[in-house]
C-alpha cells in the first residue's frame, strides 16, 4: 500500500515535452519519406509513445499520492491515463489490421480510426453511461429529499442530462452525412473533436471518483499528535447529529487504536463555530461529547470561529501552532468529505491526512461530481490548454487523413 506524505518533492511531467517533440518529428519524417512503406514503424512509434505516456502518468500518480493525495493532480493523472488507454487500445487493434492486411488497411485507415476512436468508445460505452446517469439521478433525488433543494444537491442530475444528451447528440449528428469531401471532412472533424472532449470529461469524472476512493480507504499511520474533528450542523438542543457523532466516533476509534499500538495519546482539536440556528458552538457540542466518553479536558482544544471547511483548517492550524510545534496531524470527517477537506488543509499549508466516517450511500456520487466541477472551475487555464491541444491535434490529423 502506498503511504501518504512520504515524499517532499512534487512530481512533474516536464520530461513529456521533449518526448512528444521527438515522437512528432519522427512521425512527420516517416510520413514524408513514404508513409505506407513505413506504416509498421509508424504504428510501433505511436504505440510506444502512448504506452510510455500512460506509464509516466501512473508513475506521477504514485508520486503525487506519496507527496499530496489531496490534489486535483490526483484526478488529472488518473483521468488522462484512462483517456490515453482508450486511444492505445484502438491503436493496437488498427495496427494489427494494417500489418496483417496491408493491401486492405492503409496508413490512412490508421489515421481515420485514431480520429474516430473517441467516437467509437462513446457509442460502445453508451449503455454504461445510461445506467450511470440513472443511478446518479436516483442518488441526487434521495439527497434532495434529505438535504433540501440546493444547487450543489442537483449537480448530479444536471450532469446526468449532459452525459445522456452528449450521447444522443453524437448519435443523431453522426447518423448520416453526405456532400463534398470538404463537407464530410468538416463534419468528421466536429464529431471526432466533440467525442474526444466528451471522453476526456468522462475520464476526469472517473478520476474524481477514484480520488475519493483512494483517500477514503486510507488508514493513517498511528503516530499522530493532533486529530482535528471537523464540525457540521448540530441539533437545536445542542446535541450532535448522527453525521457529527460519526466523525467523533471515527476519531475516538483511531485514537484508541493508536494508544494501544504505540502508547501515544493524540490531542483532539474540535473545530466548528456557532450557526444562526444553533444554541451553542459546534466545538462546544463536540467537547462535551468527548468529555462524556472519558477524554481528559487537557487533551481537547476548542476552535469555535470557523463557518466552513476552509476556516476549519485555517483556524485549527492557528490553535495547533499556539501550542508549539505542529507535529503530525490527522483530521476526521465524513467519508465523502475527506478529499475536499484535504484540499482545504493543503491550501493553508498544513500537511494532514484524513479519515472518513461512514455515511449514507447517496452522498457519494454528488461528492464526486462536486470535485469534478471543482476541477474544471479551479483549473480553467489548464482546461483551456487541453482543449486547445485537442483542437490542434484533431485539425492536423484530419488534414493528414483527408490528403
φ and ψ at residue 357, rounded to 5 degrees: -90, 145
Do 201 and 301 fall into the same domain? no
In a domain, 6, yes or no: no
Q: Judge if 208 and 244 occupy the same domain.
A: no
Secondary structure class of 89 (helix, strand, coil): helix
Q: Are 277 and 237 in contact (CB under 8 A)?
A: no
The rounded distance, in Å, linking the Cα atoms of 14 and 91 is: 25
pTM, to two decimals: 0.85
User: Do 94 and 212 have their domain in common?
Assistant: yes
DSSP β-ladder status, 226-230 and 352-357: unpaired
Whether 195 and 230 share a structural domain: no
Find the angle CA(274)-CA(280)-CA(286) to the nearest 5 degrees: 90
Indicate whether 2 belongs to any domain.
no
Same domain, 197 and 252: no
Instruction: Dihedral sign for Cα 123, 127, 129, 134, please.
Output: positive
Nearest-10 Cα torsion for 309, 312, 314, 320: -150
Q: 344 in a domain, yes or no?
A: no
Q: Are residues 214 and 236 in the same domain?
A: no
Report how far residue 357's alpha carbon sits from residue 334's, in angstroms, rounded to the nearest whole number. 5
Q: State whether residue 389 is helix, strand or coil.
A: helix
- Distance between CA 234 and CA 343 in Å, rounded? 24
If asked whether residues 244 and 310 sit together in one domain, one would say: yes
* Residues 140-164 as b or e (16 or more Cβ within 10 Å = b): bebbbeeeeeeeebbbbbebbeebb
Grid look-up 484540499 returns: 343
Q: 160 lies in a domain?
A: yes
Residues 131 and 25 in one domain: yes
Return the C-alpha cell found at 123.
Answer: 457509442
Q: Which residue range forms the structural domain that includes residue 49?
A: 16-218+367-401
Among 297, 327, 357, identify where a domain stops: 327
234 DSSP assignment: B
Residue 349, in any domain of the structure: no
How far, CA to CA in Å, does 345 sit from each of 33, 127, 380?
55, 39, 22
Note whether 290 and 307 are same-domain residues.
Answer: yes
Q: The C-alpha cell of 356 is what?
A: 472518513
Q: Tell me: do 270 and 206 sit in the same domain.
A: no
Please indicate, yes or no, if residue 242 is contained in any of the structural domains: yes
| 48 and 193 in a common domain | yes
Domain edge (last residue) among 305, 327, 349:
327
| Number of domain units in the chain | 2
**Local confidence pLDDT in tens for the 403 residues of the chain:** 688 888 888 999 999 999 999 998 998 888 788 767 788 888 899 999 999 999 999 999 999 999 999 998 998 899 889 888 888 888 888 888 888 887 777 777 777 877 888 888 888 788 888 988 998 898 888 888 877 777 777 888 999 999 999 999 998 998 778 888 888 889 989 999 999 889 888 888 888 888 888 998 899 999 999 999 999 889 988 999 999 999 999 999 999 999 999 999 999 999 999 988 888 999 999 999 999 999 999 999 999 999 999 999 999 999 999 998 889 999 999 988 899 899 999 999 999 999 999 888 877 777 778 777 877 777 788 888 888 888 888 888 888 888 7
Which DSSP state fits 241?
P
> 323 and 255 share a domain?
yes
Distance of CA 227 to the CA centre of its chain: 25
Asked whether residue 10 is assigned to any structural domain, the reply reads no
187 CB burial (10 A radius; 0-12, 13-18, 19+): middle
Cα→Cα distances 189→61, 193, 196, 366, 381, Å: 32, 6, 10, 33, 24
Amino acid at each position: 500500500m502506498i503511504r501518504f506524505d512520504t515524499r517532499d518533492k512534487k512530481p512533474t511531467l516536464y520530461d513529456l515535452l521533449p518526448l512528444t517533440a521527438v515522437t512528432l518529428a519522427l512521425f512527420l519524417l516517416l510520413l514524408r519519406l513514404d508513409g505506407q512503406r513505413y506504416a509498421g514503424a509508424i504504428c510501433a512509434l505511436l504505440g510506444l509513445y502512448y504506452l510510455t505516456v500512460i506509464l509516466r502518468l501512473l508513475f506521477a500518480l504514485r508520486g503525487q499520492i506519496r507527496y499530496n493525495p489531496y490534489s486535483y493532480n490526483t484526478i488529472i493523472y488518473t483521468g488522462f491515463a484512462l483517456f490515453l488507454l482508450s486511444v492505445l487500445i484502438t491503436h493496437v487493434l488498427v495496427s494489427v489490421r494494417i500489418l496483417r492486411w496491408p493491401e486492405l488497411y492503409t496508413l490512412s485507415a490508421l489515421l481515420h480510426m485514431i480520429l474516430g476512436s473517441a467516437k467509437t468508445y462513446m457509442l460502445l460505452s453508451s449503455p454504461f453511461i445510461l445506467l450511470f446517469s440513472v443511478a446518479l439521478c436516483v442518488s441526487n433525488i434521495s439527497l434532495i429529499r434529505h438535504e433540501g433543494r440546493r444547487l450543489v444537491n442537483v449537480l448530479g442530475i444536471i450532469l446526468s442530462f449532459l452525459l445522456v444528451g452528449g450521447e444522443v447528440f453524437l448519435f443523431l449528428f453522426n447518423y448520416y452525412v453526405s456532400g463534398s469531401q470538404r463537407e464530410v471532412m468538416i463534419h468528421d472533424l466536429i464529431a471526432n473533436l466533440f467525442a474526444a472532449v466528451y471522453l476526456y470529461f468522462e475520464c476526469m469524472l472517473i478520476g474524481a471518483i477514484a480520488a475519493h476512493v483512494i483517500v477514503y480507504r486510507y488508514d493513517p499511520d498511528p503516530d499522530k499528535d493532533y486529530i482535528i474533528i471537523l464540525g457540521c450542523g448540530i441539533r437545536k438542543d445542542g446535541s450532535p447529529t448522527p453525521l457529527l457523532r460519526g466523525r467523533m466516533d471515527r476519531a475516538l476509534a483511531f485514537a484508541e487504536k493508536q494508544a494501544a499500538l504505540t502508547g501515544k495519546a493524540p490531542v483532539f482539536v474540535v473545530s466548528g463555530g456557532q450557526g444562526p440556528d444553533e444554541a451553542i458552538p459546534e466545538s462546544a457540542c463536540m467537547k462535551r461529547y468527548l468529555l462524556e466518553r472519558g477524554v481528559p479536558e487537557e487533551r481537547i482544544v476548542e476552535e469555535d470561529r470557523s463557518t466552513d471547511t476552509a476556516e476549519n483548517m485555517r483556524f485549527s492550524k492557528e490553535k495547533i501552532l499556539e501550542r508549539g510545534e505542529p507535529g503530525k496531524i490527522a483530521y476526521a470527517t465524513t467519508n465523502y468529505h475527506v478529499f475536499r477537506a484535504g484540499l482545504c488543509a493543503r491550501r493553508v499549508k498544513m500537511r494532514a491526512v484524513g479519515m472518513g466516517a461512514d455515511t449514507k450511500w447517496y452522498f457519494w456520487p454528488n461528492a464526486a461530481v462536486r470535485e469534478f466541477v471543482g476541477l474544471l472551475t479551479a483549473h480553467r487555464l489548464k482546461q483551456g490548454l487541453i482543449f486547445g491541444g485537442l483542437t490542434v491535434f484533431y485539425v492536423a490529423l484530419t488534414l493528414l487523413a483527408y490528403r
